[in-house]
Structure 1
Amino acid sequence: MSYRIRPAEQGDNEAILTLLQGTPQQGAVTLNFERQPDYFRGARVACEQPDVWVAEARDAPGKVGAVYNVGWRHVWVNGEVRPIRYAHDLRIAPECRNGMILHRLFRHLRKQLAEGEWMQTTVLQDNQASLATVASGRAGLPTYYPAGTIETSMLYTRQRMPRLPADIAIRQSGSADLPDIAALLKAQGQHKQFFPYWDVNRVHGDEYCYGLNASSFLLLRIGGELKGVLGFWDQKPIKQTRVLGYTRGMGMMRHLYNTHSVLRGGMRLPAPGGVLSYLSLHSVIVSNDDPELLRLLLDYAVAFFHGRYDALICGFFQQDRLAKVAERYRRRLLLSEHFLVSYDGDPRGTLDMNRPWYVEVARL
């Protein structure tokens, strides 16, 4: 079957959602990463300016055999704000994977990128097929330059609320706090590589912040001065992790596992067809990258959200000293490889490696 590559349109929504539903991740628990009910709403959260393309069958208009998004978002790079592409959501229908469609997609991507332009992307370590593809050196593919390993932690919520030192207060934010939040995000974020740059006033109805509002942060103050921010985001209205099924052994153990999770904290496994209950963290920043301040915020968060969510999702590059804080909690760990993708040489030499690297897992 012959396909043409074209910009995605809102009318492609159902075809794209069908494609996503047909590409689950197999394992003891079969998972599907979905974007119900509107793929494009989620695309506008992942990127400030989405750049979504589909491969449409020439003899079957509306039939989508592949999709990808290489949109932009503004991040700090070497202390300056730059629009950087993030390549993601590449999905190819199973019946198309043995043809030339991947080659054609990358040939088209080459035309989209400006000379010298590079992108970020991430690949799960468990996704051996994708890792083998990016490392293949196949003609027409860009070069994927390894640029760190990301630890994504699913921190299980718990009931016990910690005691805070007398001079420290943690509370939920409000509209009056937005200027302080913006100032801290800029002051600390500009020293990191890839920390997102955005106007916090966009929480008032902007599509890039769909589901957020002025109360979507926990704030840590010492003597009244803001020293830490931990944003939280319920993204179930735009993306879901759905359980499609279990292996025989895992299915038999599910109820026992869930009982254990209720008693000790953990991710409860729903019946096939159900979705996992978690909250994504974003805009995680503490003054001077102080691990103790992050610990206080996470201690508070895992108790504050207990009973409403099974887990909190956060992520750090392995070389980030703040990654050690997540090791203190009962968690499930997921590893991803981060790459800088380019057709025009290695961009890593242009980066100041002395700056800590940041990943916004809520926008992956």
Structure 2
Amino acid sequence: MSLNVLYAQNDNDNPIYRSKNEPNFLVRDATQADDEQLVQLIAETMPSNGMTLAFERYPSYLSASHAQYNRPDIKLVVPEENPAQVVGMMNLGWRYCFINGQPELLRYVADLRMHPAHRGNKVLRLLMDYVYDEIPLDTIFESVVLEDNTVACNILHNERKGFPKPFHYDDIRTFTVSQAQKPVQFGRYHFEQMNTNHVSEANAFISTMKQHYNFLPNYDFSGLAESNHPFWLSMNIHDFYLMYDQNHQIVGLYGLWNQKAFKQTRVVDYSLPLKLMKPFYNVYAGLRGVFSLPKKNDAFEYLMIHSALCHPEQQDVFASLIFHAKQQTKLRRKQAFCITLANNDPRIHWMSNTTSHIIQAKHYFHSFKGNPYSTFDRNKISYFEVGRI
């Protein structure tokens, strides 16, 4: 343990971390009593493509975090004189995933927030002191940040003394798909809605996908059969579809996830050009059946695609999967669905045959122990679950 750290106990036996670099604030674990403050703090606005968005976790951040992580680890910054007041937060939770084909734990950094009145290097430095002192120094952290989120990019993507060094791994794109071209091969495949009899087959298919994709979650679809399993929040087994070829061999898998019960993307404001263009665009969108822009302060209506998996070189399978997902989205009375793909995923080329709104982001790793690239097989494709970023 370094000289910076000192531990004490508060009245609730919640461990308290102190650093000599910032004696006026403490770090502690989140508790249920903090949930209301976390819901407010996480709704911090972010710019994206001419819009100011709020990524909300209403009504419970703590509940929603279990859909993002297998094991959330939420650290809070609180004032020394009032440890019940939350002025900053960061989630450093664990994800169970496949790396180089083997089941591993990966530490994912997300939801870094600071109250506007307490933004500055001191609070951020305290969090980094905690990371340095209390987490093994050989830990590799993963992060994904929107390109338009310049504040987070400046914090996480620049080298800073006392911070884990950032390493840009690859770029990703999230497509909000409102239309998809029907591929000529669509009739070669058939889809079955998942039920409990499909669970072992779906799990076996996931196991074959780990040879192609890195950071693929270690899914166990038997959790879908359980009532209120936190990792499958707001999903049931019938939200998933298995895709078969003419030999009745499984070639694809995906689900549709309605997250609105616990996670919303709300438009706080539009840029002036977009504000002027929005009425005309929405008339066009209505005529073309594409994604329309909501009113200011309203939330978008869309689904998240879950585990859109197939062999990365099977473009016809992926094209049919995307078209079927669009059909099912329409049947569920939603305008669009979202899917995230790494730029080096061969399947991304098919997305030019869709009508999509695109958001770009950067995928980084962070380490105190030098470049982590050798840890990962760069021949494998980075996998991202859009609903868990």
Q: Give the aligned partner of residue 96 of structure 1.
A: 118
Q: Give the aligned partner of residue 327 of structure 2.
A: 303
1:340 matched to 2:362? The reply is: no
DSSP 3-state at the match of 2:104:
strand
Which one of the candidate residues 253, 257, 281 is aligned to 1:257? Answer: 281
Which one of the candidate residues 189, 193, 215 is aligned to 1:172? Answer: 193
Change (3 A) 1:138 1:170: same
Q: What's the CA shift for 1:140?
A: 1.0
Q: Which amino acid aligns with 2:156?
A: V
The number of residue pairs the alignment matches comes to 363
DSSP 3-state at the match of 1:327:
helix
Residues 312-352 of structure 1: CA deviation (Å, up to 9, x unaligned): 11111111111112221011111111111111121111221
2:48 and 2:148 in contact (8 A); partners too: no
C-alpha separation in 1, matches of 2:28 and 2:166? 24
- Where structure 1 has 5 or more consecutive residues not aligned to the other structure, the ranges are none
1:73 and 1:83 in contact (8 A); partners too: yes
1:315 and 1:361 in contact (8 A); partners too: yes
Matches within 5 A, 1:146-157: 146-157=168-179
Which one of the candidate residues 292, 303, 314 is aligned to 2:339? Answer: 314
DSSP 3-state at the match of 1:62:
coil
Q: Which amino acid aligns with 2:133?
A: K
C-alpha separation in 1, matches of 2:230 and 2:200? 20
Change (3 A) 1:250 1:352: closer
C-alpha separation in 2, matches of 1:217 and 1:196? 16
Change (3 A) 1:23 1:250: closer
Matches within 5 A, 1:179-328: 179-203=200-224, 204-205=226-227, 206-222=229-245, 223-287=247-311, 289-306=313-330, 308-328=333-353
Change (3 A) 1:166 1:19: closer
DSSP 3-state at the match of 1:269:
coil
C-alpha separation in 2, matches of 1:67 and 1:328? 40
Q: Which amino acid aligns with 1:323?
A: I
Q: Name which of structure 1's ranges 353-362 and 49-58 shifts more when overlaid on structure 2.
A: 353-362
1:142 and 1:342 in contact (8 A); partners too: yes
Q: Give the aligned partner of residue 13 of structure 2.
A: none
Q: What's the CA shift for 1:26?
A: 6.8
DSSP 3-state at the match of 1:151:
strand
C-alpha separation in 1, matches of 2:339 and 2:48? 23
Q: What's the CA shift for 1:134?
A: 2.8
Q: Which amino acid aligns with 2:53?
A: L
1:35 matched to 2:35? The reply is: no
- TM-score normalised according to structure 2 size: 0.88
C-alpha separation in 2, matches of 1:246 and 1:147? 31
Q: Give the aligned partner of residue 330 of structure 1.
A: 355
Q: What's the CA shift for 1:162?
A: 6.8
What's the Cα RMSD here?
Answer: 2.0
DSSP 3-state at the match of 2:346:
coil
Q: What's the CA shift for 1:214?
A: 1.1
- Between the two proteins, what is the percent identity of the paired residues? 25
Q: Give the aligned partner of residue 158 of structure 2.
A: 136
Q: What's the CA shift for 1:303?
A: 2.4
1:350 matched to 2:372? The reply is: no
C-alpha separation in 2, matches of 1:93 and 1:227? 47
Q: Which amino acid aligns with 1:224?
A: H
C-alpha separation in 1, matches of 2:157 and 2:69? 26
Q: What's the CA shift for 1:148?
A: 0.3
Q: Which amino acid aligns with 1:303?
A: Q
Change (3 A) 1:333 1:342: same
- Where structure 2 has 5 or more consecutive residues not aligned to the other structure, the ranges are 1-22
